[in-house]
Amino acid sequence: MSLSDSKFISESKLLPELIQDTDFLNNSEISENAEKIINACRENKKERTKLDAFLSEYGLDNQEGVALMCLAESILRIPDSKTRDLIISERLSEGRWIEHLNKADSLFVNASTWGLLLAGKVVKTPLEWSQNPNKFLRSIVSKSGEFPIRNAVIAAMHILSQEFVMGRDFKDVNKIPGIEESIYSFDMLGEAARNQEQANIYYESYENAIIEVGKINLIKNKNNGVSIKISALCPSYEMRKYEDIKLNLVPKLIALTELGISKDVEITIDADAQVSGYHDYPVFTKKSITDLSYLACAKKIFEIDSIYPKFATHNAHTLSAINYLGRNKNYEFQRLFGMGELLYKCAEKILDNKQPTSIYAPIGKYKDLLPYLVRRLLENGANSSFINRLLDPETDAAWLASGPHKKIENERKDIPLPCNIFSNRNNSRGIDISEMDNLETIRTEISKYKNKSIDAVSIYNNRNADGAKKHDVLSLANGNKIGTVTFDDPGHLKKSLETENSVNWAKLGVNERAKILVSISDDLESDPYQLIYYLMNEAGKTIQNAIDEIREAVDFLRYYSNQMINIEERDQKLEGPTGEENILTYGPKGHFICISPWNFPVAILIGQISAALITGNKVTVKPSEHTSILGYIVVSTFHKNGVPTDALELVLGDGLYGDVLSKLKNINGVAFTGSLPTAKKIQNNLNENHKEIIPLIAETGGVNAMIVDSSALLEQATDDIVRSAFDSAGQRCSALRVLCIQDDIYNDLLEMVKGNMQELKIG
């Protein structure tokens, strides 16, 4: 089985094999030694690092831990004191810091708690805070003789930050006493590059790191290494940009590796995975199975003599199991800087472990630290984390030391598969384009339509083709002809369309109508490639946007079908006088006009007509003149799956045709998506041509804004800005149109956004 084939394999299928591969865990020595390590750590609790102490007190299981993590993620970036005060007010007002006072046995924790409690008390006086916060702060400070509150909290954040980071640069690292006593894998702090300028800066920092570590290794006679993040070197690190990766990323990796060899510096490559759930999950959903898989992989690695492995773990059972597996083998452990020191000291004594332990040591400035800091807090502050429970006397040491194979039964409850996340209907299926095989399949399938031409025409009874005008449709991607579209003479429309409504469709019954719509959804899902091709060529969509739009269309069909069945099944009996029975039921209105836009020519069109059809109405749909072929394909698919042609009619044409349709005498409702002026024109037509009120369901555009202040992580803001404003060329009613940026970060954010935009490709 290939890696891509096994990506979404069910963990229930893998579990028997994993249990078989890890049968060595049945040796009682492993769990017994793990329990000894845990007890030794608890007996020597005072030797733990400041960070371990802090995490054991403030985890994710209380409001204070969450508030602390929110602060750590944002407050160091805020340049002005007023905003800092507001952030402190928001994050600490709900914190019950008093519960932590003198509860922890670490001076560091208690000192920090006092500072946080002080802030908590301030923000619990909202009247004085709002009337004159600066004066009130000064009065508190003058009484306590301490720093201003915001500075105290920021100082606490800096202390916490320093526990995670070895130094700001290699000058700091070289000043650390006893650095030669351990082996380090240095990591230059920073997230994935958002533009080429960032990628170049990261590349230079890795180059410098390799040179500096080479000097340290030479002077100290050590084997320190450098960890390199692939996504930091390539702003377009995704499979669909494979050619760019080969051109820009691979040469950089080769150059850094060759530099590492020349300087005798070990290079570790960290690959950031991008995952999406499809027919199953690409990750294990249970922690015990994840741990089991880790040990199964460790066993296989030990079977290959040419591999020198490093095992990163902060789990006593994993340590004990690796020690058992690795007898007479060469390998090393790895822990995070500032964490796990006590665990490894105790393990070394109990296991008589002579294998080296390297330390993953981040280096960088505070502005680069924050995402890393939050990631570590989230990983190790969670209730399920071994670190979080290691020193907790209420957690049974024997249970904590037991192997993952014994904990599986307690985690047997499965989470719903992606296809089953909705309890009453199937979720729409996606295509994982992070795999080259799937990309190649899409390219192969859509290539079948390159030499085909669709002749799109209107579909309605008594159609008169006299005076119709045909024109060619050219691909927005390459200018090639992809079909023709015929617009009928609008003068003939009124006579042809003002016919009786489709009585048979209304009488069919909700369950039968729902069955037909669900069959349409299955049809679109099983063979989406024709729609993908025309979404790309007629509407100008990217592959991912085309897939997403089809998924939305499929979901509309299933959602409305399910909703209507539920409504039909629960007729409401209303309260009334004795002897009188009043029941509320639902029925079709009659004839609906649906007018859809070009920017979502499949999803919105199907959303409109599926809602109208499932309720038993006759529908006449006019797609945008710019996406007439797609409208023709969609309506033809509905007809093929059982929707009668007199229940669903298609009119192709420009805005003039929509004007004609909204003036028809036999309509009972209009669903429109488009511009506000057009919606108002339709509204006027309905008012002028009908005595009764005709419902108009109109979705029009607006001006969407985003406000970014200095507490925001610029990389994350950049992702959201570019995705919202420029994905699908910004042609969405929800697209970002106005961006408001705080002065202090204006230049930095703007440069990052501009650089990220340069990574986009048109065509």
Question: What positions carry a catalytic annotation?
Answer: 699, 733
Instruction: Give SS3 for 222.
Output: coil
Q: Which two tokens stand for residue 41?
A: 């750590």
From CA 272, how far away is CA 233, in angstroms rounded? 12
- 3-state secondary structure (DSSP) of residue 316: helix
Q: Cα 40 from chain centroid?
A: 40
Q: How far is 392 from 505, CA to CA, in rounded Å?
A: 66
3-state SS class at 435: coil
Asked if 158 contacts 185 with a C-beta cutoff of 8 angstroms, the reply is: no
Beta pairing partners, 23: none
Distance CA 487, CA 602 (A): 20
Q: Note whether 700 and 677 are within 8 A (CB).
A: no
Please report the DSSP string for 486-554 in residue order: EEPPHHHHHHHHSS---HHHHHT-HHHHHHHHHHHHHHHHH--HHHHHHHHHTS---HHHHHHHHHHHH
C-alpha triplet 43, 46, 50: angle, nearest 5°: 135
Looking at residue 383, the DSSP 8-state letter turns out to be T
Contact yes or no for 71/87 (Cβ under 8 A): yes
Spatial strand order in the sheet of 183-188? 266-270, 225-229, 183-188, 357-363, 332-336, 310-312
Q: Which residue has the tokens 């409690």?
A: 117
Report the chain's C-alpha Rg in angstroms. Answer: 32
Residues belonging to the chain: 763
Decide: 234 and 193 in contact? Cβ < 8 Å.
Answer: yes
Rounded distance between C-alpha atoms, residue 739 and residue 708, angstroms: 8
In this structure, what DSSP letter does residue 194 have?
Answer: S
**Residues facing 311 on adjacent strands:** 333
CB 282 within 8 A of CB 275: yes
Cβ-in-10-Å burial (0-12, 13-18, 19+) of 446 comes to buried
Please state, in angstroms and rounded to a whole number, the distance separating the CA atoms of residues 313 and 367. Answer: 27
Pairing label, strands 454-456, 481-487: parallel
Strand partners, 226: 186, 267
Residue type, 333: F
Q: Is 17 helix (H, G, I), strand (E, B) or coil?
A: helix
| DSSP three-state, residue 583 | strand
Rounded CA-CA distance 553/550 in Å is 5
